[in-house]
């Protein structure tokens, strides 16, 4: 489990999202962490210490002046023994007190005494979040190395819409896991394409495909977790973007190529997008109308740029260029041919003859890295996130073995 052996001091401050701290404790425990909760006075208005203690299987600390807490574990020790202090939800008030070095309760005193990593997950009304005072406080904390995990956008409990929602507990756990994960790709720049492209037919219609973007997003997330600086160029998808990744959204293959080119140079480039090979020639400027008696419509198509090939053969060429090949027959032969003709380093080939790979959660990959049987590795059927992790492992091995990466 990714958080095994990690001790997380979870500070729960006041706010309607404090109830989510219960789920967060559960998820952190599920991931193997020891969770030591501190509940502020404000937090205790929204969630009871009993709930947190029960879920954490650990006493909850609340009172700076409680002799029992101090005797059992002083606030200095509380701060120092943690591998990570996570403030979730972090209210505007607590953020302000942190930024100004105040120490008037157990949470703020512990934070002031901390000399290890601290992350805050802000949660407040969007106007409070946007207020220059809050922004200045958050920037002051960031400049001192405090990690800021969120907030998310969306509907707020107060009925307003905007930025200020607590990052979902599941995402906070991913962020904590990423924080503790080894960073073998630190200092490397990675570029990932993902999703379908939409090629306009007329102002309201597009040519598209069923790519969900799951595989590319999983690869972008796994690269980021391994410490790479990742740019994800994605066509239209309904998935929320992965955390810790720079996201460029595009519609067409032409736009994708331009976004990819402006994200260069890169050490690693993974082309997982299902780019349309063709686009309608001269998309109509007005909506195409059906005429009375018309039974057929003819559209002419022109070739789209091959983004993978043009980056693999262009300058500056990424150190390692990785493509996908969806094949219905002669999987390895076709993947090898694609590797050679596009001048790609690695190809992840998948057999799509059975139908559902697009949008499905699993993928059976054959990794083709060189000529002959030695260059071919068949993977079992894996979830798309396992495929991503395995690919990143292979990248790290290649790096450590002194392979092509600059």
Among 25, 111, 141, 308, indicate the residue that binds ligand C5P (CB under 6 A): 308
On the question of a cis peptide bond just before residue 253, with omega within 30 degrees of 0, the verdict is no
CB of 257 to ligand C5P, least distance (A): 8
**DSSP assignment of 111-138:** HHH--S-EEEEE---HHHHHSHHHHHHH
Piece of the chain touching ligand C5P by CB under 6 A; list 180-188, 222-230, 301-309, 313-321: 301-309
> Would you say 320 and 398 are in contact if contact means Cβ atoms under 8 Å apart?
yes
Among 153, 155, 277, 377, indicate the residue that binds ligand C5P (CB under 6 A): 277
Piece of the chain touching ligand C5P by CB under 6 A; list 2-10, 175-183, 235-243, 267-275: 267-275
In the shown chain, the binding pattern of residues 183 to 202 toward ligand C5P, with x for contact by CB under 6 A and - for none, equals: ----------x---------
Q: How many CB atoms lie within 10 A of CB 76?
A: 14
In the shown chain, the binding pattern of residues 219 to 258 toward ligand C5P, with x for contact by CB under 6 A and - for none, equals: ----------------------------------x-----
Among 56, 226, 307, 312, indicate the residue that binds ligand C5P (CB under 6 A): 307
Q: How many CB atoms lie within 10 A of CB 220?
A: 31
Among 76, 113, 158, 258, the active-site one is: 158
Q: Does 149 interact with ligand C5P (rule: CB under 6 A)?
A: no
CB of 339 to ligand C5P, least distance (A): 10
CB of 350 to ligand C5P, least distance (A): 11
d(CA 391, CA 349): 12
Distances (CA, A) of 60 to 55, 95, 144, 277, 306: 10, 21, 28, 58, 58
Among 40, 109, 110, 304, indicate the residue that binds ligand C5P (CB under 6 A): 304
- Write out the binding residues for ligand C5P, residues 317-346 only, by CB under 6 A: 323-325, 338
d(CA 406, CA 399): 9
> Would you say 116 and 179 are in contact if contact means Cβ atoms under 8 Å apart?
no
Bridge partners, residue 229, by sequence: 189
For ligand C5P, the closer of residues 55 and 253 by Cβ is: 253
Q: How many CB atoms lie within 10 A of CB 145?
A: 8
> Would you say 190 and 223 are in contact if contact means Cβ atoms under 8 Å apart?
yes
* Segment (H or E) for 350: strand 346-351
Total site size for ligand C5P, rule CB under 6 A: 15
Residue 375, Cα to own-chain centre: how many angstroms?
A: 30
For ligand C5P, the closer of residues 134 and 304 by Cβ is: 304
- The DSSP output letter for 274 is B
Active-site residue flag, 89:
no
d(CA 316, CA 117): 37
For ligand C5P, the closer of residues 152 and 201 by Cβ is: 201
Among 273, 365, 367, 395, indicate the residue that binds ligand C5P (CB under 6 A): 273
Bridge partners, residue 202, by sequence: 205
What residues line the site for ligand C5P (CB under 6 A)? 193, 253, 271-273, 275, 277, 304, 306-308, 323-325, 338
Catalytic residue numbers, as ranges: 158
């Amino acid at each position: 489990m990714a958080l095994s052996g990690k001790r997380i001091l979870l500070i729960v401050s006041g706010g309607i999202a404090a109830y989510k701290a219960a789920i967060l404790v559960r998820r952190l425990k599920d991931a193997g962490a020891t969770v030591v909760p501190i509940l502020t006075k404000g937090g205790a208005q929204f969630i009871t210490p009993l709930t947190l203690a029960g879920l954490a299987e650990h006493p909850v600390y609340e009172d700076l002046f409680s002799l029992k807490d101090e005797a059992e574990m002083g606030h200095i020790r509380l701060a120092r023994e943690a591998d990570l202090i996570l403030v979730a939800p972090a209210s505007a008030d607590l953020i302000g007190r942190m930024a100004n070095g105040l120490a008037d309760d157990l949470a703020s005193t512990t934070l002031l005494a901390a000399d290890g990593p601290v992350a805050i997950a802000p949660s407040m009304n969007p106007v409070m979040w946007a207020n220059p005072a809050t922004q200045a406080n958050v920037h002051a904390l960031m400049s001192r190395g405090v990690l800021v995990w969120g907030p998310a956008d969306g509907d707020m409990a107060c009925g307003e819409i905007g930025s200020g929602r607590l990052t979902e507990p599941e995402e906070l756990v991913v962020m904590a896991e990423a924080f503790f994960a080894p960073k073998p790709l630190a200092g490397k720049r990675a570029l990932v394409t993902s999703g379908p492209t939409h090629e306009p037919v007329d102002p309201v219609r597009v040519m598209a495909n069923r790519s969900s973007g799951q595989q590319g997003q999983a690869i972008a997330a796994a690269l980021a977790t391994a410490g790479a600086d990742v740019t994800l160029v994605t066509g239209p998808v309904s998935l929320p973007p992965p955390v810790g990744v720079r996201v460029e959204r595009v519609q067409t293959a032409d736009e994708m190529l331009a976004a990819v080119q402006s994200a260069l140079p890169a050490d690693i480039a993974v082309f997982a997008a299902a780019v349309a090979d063709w686009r309608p020639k001269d998309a109509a400027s007005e909506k195409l109308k059906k005429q009375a008696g018309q039974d057929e419509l003819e559209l002419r198509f022109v070739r789209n740029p091959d983004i993978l090939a043009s980056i693999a053969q262009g300058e500056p060429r990424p150190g390692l260029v990785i493509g996908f090949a969806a094949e219905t027959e002669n999987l390895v032969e076709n993947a090898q041919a694609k590797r050679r003709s596009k001048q790609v380093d690695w190809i992840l080939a998948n057999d799509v003859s059975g139908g559902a790979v697009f949008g499905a959660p699993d993928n059976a990959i054959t990794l083709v890295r060189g000529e002959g049987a030695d260059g071919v590795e068949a993977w079992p059927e894996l979830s798309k996130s396992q495929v991503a992790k395995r690919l990143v492992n292979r990248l790290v091995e290649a790096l450590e073995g002194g392979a092509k990466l600059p």
